[in-house]
Amino acid sequence: MYAVSVKNVERNIRVEPSGAERWARILDPVTRHQDAAKEMERQGIAMFRARGTPQWALDIVIACARRRNVALPIIAQDRRFRDAVQARNEAMYLIYSQRRTNPNLSCPRLGKWFGRDHTSVLHGIASHQEANGLTRIVGYNIVSSRKRNANGMSVKRTSAQEER
């Protein structure tokens, strides 16, 4: 049973559930979970839109988030959970693969949309294509990068570099 409340008749008429139905919806755990998921997705969309992400790219990110069962704000933030990283890398790969139809798409622009540096975008795309055996669309060598990082070369500095 719905109770009708009329507020500001000139503008709109809103139909609201009666008290018992409203409390049943609030207390239902499934409904609460669905409402929370919708709110999380809304927040994630707002984060990507604030960074200037176009709708076609946002659709790809949303699809990757749903396929990997990761909340959209977690992809937008700099979280490094394995699932979030894999979903983010997949989204970056799929968006960057659209470069033929969108020649203005660059790694710095993609990095801006994801809140990353352009080299992080290159690394993410290369990681995804290597992990899934996909066609290489960037020339970033992930194997040599991993060797460099494992040897600590990216962290260690020589005394000559420190003096500068």
Res. 1 pLDDT band, cuts 50 70 90 = very low
Tell me which residue of 6, 1, 112 sits closest to 54, measured CA to CA. Answer: 112
Res. 123 pLDDT band, cuts 50 70 90 = very high
First to last CA, the chain: 77
Domain 17-150 in CATH 3.40.920.10? The answer is no
8 A C-beta contact, residue 81 and residue 146: no
Write down the domain spans for the chain.
17-150
What letter represents residue 11's amino acid? Answer: R
- What digits encode the pLDDT tens for the residues 15-64? 566 666 666 666 667 677 788 888 999 999 999 999 999 999 999 999 99
pLDDT for the residue numbered 62: 96
Could you tell me which residue, 67 or 158, shows the higher pLDDT? 67
8 A C-beta contact, residue 65 and residue 72: yes
